[in-house]
Amino acid sequence: MLRFGWGTTPLAEILAGNWPVIEARLRAEAPTPGTATRDLNALRDLVSSTEDDVWITFHASKLWWGRLAPAPPEEDGVSKFRRLVAPWGDRDREGIALVATQVPGAVAAVQGFRGTVCAVRAQAALERLLNAEASPAYHKVAQAQRALDAAVADALAGLHWKDFETLVDLVFRQAGWRRVSMLGETMKYADLELEEPITRERYQVQVKSRANLTEFRKYAADFSAGEFRRLYFVVHTPSADLARHPGQAGNGTVLLLRPKEFAPMVVEAGLTEWLLGRIR
């Protein structure tokens, strides 16, 4: 149900549509004429709204939406209310939660309204949000990002093996992980050992300029899952059989990062400028 106040306005007057009397009472109670007008218009909207309208509210860090049933206002021991055709929804058409921090700014701005009811002016943005549709601006940026990821993936193969090893180190460190082994240090198994600073979990990274499926499987078989949470096997020029591999081994403890998986990480880490300086 959609609950609303107006506690001093009798439900019988609302049901009878006795708006002159309701308006006179609101103007007598309101601190300013403008407040009375806003309250009157809001109450009219609540009473006259049909199931063609979409109502939204924000609660528990999410946006909730609903449609009113074709039934008149009612009242119980708590407040006046109107019933909805279905329970309040907090998900879009695809079932994704409508988290408040991910709602378009033009829609989220209504949270700052200091009254009970206001119109959502960004109706197109709200419709796209509820229908799980992206905006034209989103499509444009997403297309550009996909093109950048693809270009970076192609460029990785042109790196000297030492530069590639340095780039891998920079990507993981930009993600906040601490290196606990020296880059290039002689180790029997991994090129990098990393530590997640909060959980203190440790990871290993093996960097290869070229590798095939047999090599990947050997590293996966030798990985010490008890001492390290995960092994990242990073390669910029995988063989044909390795390029077709699903990308995981050892029940998910060994992850394969080829150019198509590693390039977005480079972009997200803000290292495209660094890459440009090495491939010019």
The CATH 3.40.1350.10 domain(s) of the chain lie at 138-279
pTM listed for this prediction: 0.71
Mean pLDDT in residue range 164-177: 95
Look at residue 163 and tell me whether its pLDDT is greater than 60: yes
Report pLDDT for 187: 54
**pLDDT (0 to 100) of residue 183:** 56
- Select from 2.60.120.10, 3.40.50.150, 3.40.1350.10, 3.20.19.10 the CATH code of 138-279: 3.40.1350.10
Question: If you average pLDDT over every residue of the chain, what do you get?
Answer: 93
From first CA to last CA, the distance across the chain in angstroms is 63
**Collapsing DSSP states into helix, strand and coil, what is residue 252?**
coil
**pLDDT confidence tier of residue 225, bands split at 50, 70 and 90:** confident
- Could you give the CA distance from residue 12 to residue 29 in angstroms, rounded to a whole number? 19
Q: Write the pLDDT tens digit of every residue in 113-139.
A: 888 899 999 999 999 999 999 989 999
Q: What is the pLDDT of residue 152?
A: 97
DSSP state of 197: T
What the block records as the tokens of 213 is 């499926």
- Is the pLDDT score of 185 beyond 70? no
Q: How many CA atoms lie within 13 A of 194 on its CB side?
A: 23
The percent of residues above 70 in pLDDT, for the chain, comes to 98
Burial zone of 240 (CB within 10 Å; 0-12 exposed, 13-18 middle, 19+ buried): exposed
pLDDT-based confidence at 188, cuts 50/70/90? low
pLDDT at residue 66, rounded to an integer: 97
